[in-house]
């Protein structure tokens, strides 16, 4: 955010919160959400963006992520409607191109979601009734982490492991961190606490 003159971490958080709502409204895959946030953060780290264009960056990033991850991606007109016609088709497509060029079309990246799936399974107990509760809590904390600009520089695997740790703490699982989790995540409890 240091390179941004008109945008701060709070504005980014508001944008990501809106992206979460749009993601839910369109019933998109989790991969699309995490890739969208990655695209937004990378673009903001490389390109100065005007305040009035921040939502345009978000809409265009979501469009890119959907094209990359979804079988049936929403169309540009869907994004125009969801943003209350704040931007035209041409503006969205122009920003899409600008983002892709600035990121050099590098969209195959490890996001926290890649790690979350594996780590959540490792965190689940043999009691299948609680598996869904654990999984939902892990994903809740992971989505909360998306809102936190301070975690942008953190390794995606660390963010995912921290979400599992927070979920186990919330659900009062003992021990909080098992050898299985240490093995699958590559992190000790001390590393997550530090």
pLDDT tens track for 36-50: 999 999 999 999 999
The reply to whether 86 and 167 lie within a common domain is: no
Domain contains 2:
no
Average pLDDT over residues 122-143: 81
Whole-number pLDDT of residue 127: 54
Binning pLDDT at 50, 70 and 90, where does residue 5 land? Answer: confident
The reply to whether 47 and 98 lie within a common domain is: yes
Domain contains 1:
no
The domain boundary, picked from 56, 81, 102, lies at: 102
- In the chain, the number of structural domains is 2
Domain contains 3:
no
Residue 161: which domain range?
Answer: 112-193
- Statement: residue 124 has pLDDT above 90: no
Binning pLDDT at 50, 70 and 90, where does residue 53 land? Answer: very high
- Statement: residue 77 has pLDDT above 80: yes
> For all residues of the chain together, what is the average pLDDT?
93
The reply to whether 122 and 178 lie within a common domain is: yes
Whole-number pLDDT of residue 4: 81
The reply to whether 15 and 84 lie within a common domain is: yes
For residues 187 and 22, what is the distance between their CA atoms, to the nearest angstrom? 33
Domain contains 126:
yes
Binning pLDDT at 50, 70 and 90, where does residue 132 land? Answer: confident
The domain boundary, picked from 69, 102, 135, lies at: 102
């Amino acid at each position: 955010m240091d390179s941004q003159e008109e945008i701060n971490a709070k504005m980014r958080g508001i944008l990501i919160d809106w992206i979460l709502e749009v993601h839910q409204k369109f019933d998109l895959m989790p991969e699309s959400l995490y890739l969208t946030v990655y695209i937004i953060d990378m673009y903001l780290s490389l390109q100065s963006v005007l305040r009035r264009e921040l939502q345009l960056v978000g809409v265009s990033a979501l469009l890119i992520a959907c094209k990359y991850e979804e079988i049936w991606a929403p169309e540009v007109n869907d994004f125009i409607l969801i943003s209350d016609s704040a931007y035209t088709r041409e503006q969205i497509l122009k920003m899409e191109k600008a983002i892709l060029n600035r990121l050099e079309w590098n969209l195959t990246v490890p996001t926290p979601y890649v790690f979350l799936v594996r780590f959540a399974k490792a965190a689940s107990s043999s009691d299948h009734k609680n598996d869904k509760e654990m999984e939902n809590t892990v994903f809740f904390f992971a989505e909360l982490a998306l809102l936190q600009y301070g975690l942008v520089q953190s390794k995606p695997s660390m963010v995912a492991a921290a979400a599992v740790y927070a979920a186990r703490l919330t659900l009062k699982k003992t021990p909080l961190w098992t050898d299985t989790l240490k093995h699958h995540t590559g992190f000790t409890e001390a590393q997550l606490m530090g």
